[in-house]
Amino acid sequence: MTTIAPQGIFADLAADLAADLAAASLALAQRFSDSATAWCIAPAFPPHAQHIAVEFVHPVIVGKRALPAVALTGADLVGQVRVSARRGDVVIAVAAASDPVVAAIMRRAPAWGVSTIWIGNGPRPAPGAADHVLWLDDPDPRLPATGEFVLMYHLLWELTHVCFEHPGLLTNPQEDCTEDVCITCSDEGRLGEVISTAADGTATVRTARATETVIATLAWPLAPGDVVLVHAGTAISKVAEE
């Protein structure tokens, strides 16, 4: 088998980061082809969020499509994403793994039905903290002010458009169960975010499927914004913030 050496800027990427970029770009292209919006956040570096949104919205190359992306900045980013993002959308975050705002959003994203891409450097987020992690292991705190992050999301943009050139890649696999009875689904455990609670021991929660009313006595007390594990119409436990 012939091995082709990376060319140009790709030669500077570690093999695992190149693979992560390819996977994230394919997932992003699939989401965009299914009418998703990308919500871009960077609590400590707002210009990065704005730059990412501009990359996707502004078709700088003739023939490339403009893709829906919005930068969210300012206070209460958790609340902004909560009311903005809809099932099937994507959150792209630029932040350190220790950023509590981004961590809170990533924790709630499965309940919102939103996929996530986390860009950063230094110590990595915990495994599974985001759907896709694009990371530079260099811990230098000045790195976000260099061109390294810009290169990363420029490549994300470019590779996403490469995926659009191959329409057969853009169909997301069917995730919903269409059977009347499904053993796997009957033993489900889904994340939900509490919207409100009632005196009868129930809670209204937002999950990736819909807004649902669940029995909440096992996880009581609950408050709006809490994340819970839902099983068989019951909130069986509260998910810790840490």
The domain limits of the chain are 11-169, 183-239
Q: Which residue has the higher pLDDT, 181 or 56?
A: 56
The predicted pLDDT at position 174 comes to 56
Band the pLDDT of 115: cuts 50, 70, 90: very high
What pairing do the DSSP bridges indicate for beta strands 211-215 and 202-207? antiparallel
Q: Which residue has the tokens 């329409």?
A: 167
Reply yes or no: is the peptide bond before residue 43 cis, omega within 30 of 0: no
Average model confidence (pLDDT) for the chain? Answer: 88
Percent of the chain with pLDDT over 90: 74
Is 3 a residue whose pLDDT tops 70? no
Tokens of 30: 């699939």
Quick: pLDDT tens for 63-113: 788 999 999 999 999 999 999 999 999 999 999 999 999 999 999 999 999
3-state secondary structure of 191: strand
- Residue 148: CB partners within 8 Å, gap ≥ 6? 121, 136, 138
Q: What pLDDT, on a 0 to 100 scale, did the predictor assign at position 8?
A: 41
User: Does the pLDDT value for residue 212 go beyond 70?
Assistant: yes
Q: Which CATH number fits domain 11-169: 3.40.50.10490, 3.40.630.40, 3.40.50.261, 3.40.50.970?
A: 3.40.50.10490
Residue range 115-129: average pLDDT?
96
Q: What pLDDT band is residue 7 in, cutting at 50, 70 and 90?
A: very low
CATH number belonging to the domain at 183-239, selected among 2.30.30.140, 3.40.1350.10, 3.40.50.720, 3.40.720.10 = 2.30.30.140
Quick one: pLDDT at residue 6? 40
Higher pLDDT, 199 or 8: 199
Task: Return d(Cα 104, Cα 109) in angstroms, integer.
Answer: 9
Q: What is the mean pLDDT of residues 215-240?
A: 93
Strand 115-121 relative to strand 90-94: parallel, antiparallel, unpaired?
Answer: parallel
Pairing verdict, β 69-71 and 38-41: parallel
Of 4-8, 58-62, 222-226, which one has max mean pLDDT? Answer: 222-226
3-state percent breakdown (helix, strand, coil) of the chain, nearest 5: 35, 20, 40
Predicted pLDDT of residue 177? 55
- Rg of the chain's alpha carbons, rounded to an integer? 19
Mean pLDDT of 118-135: 96
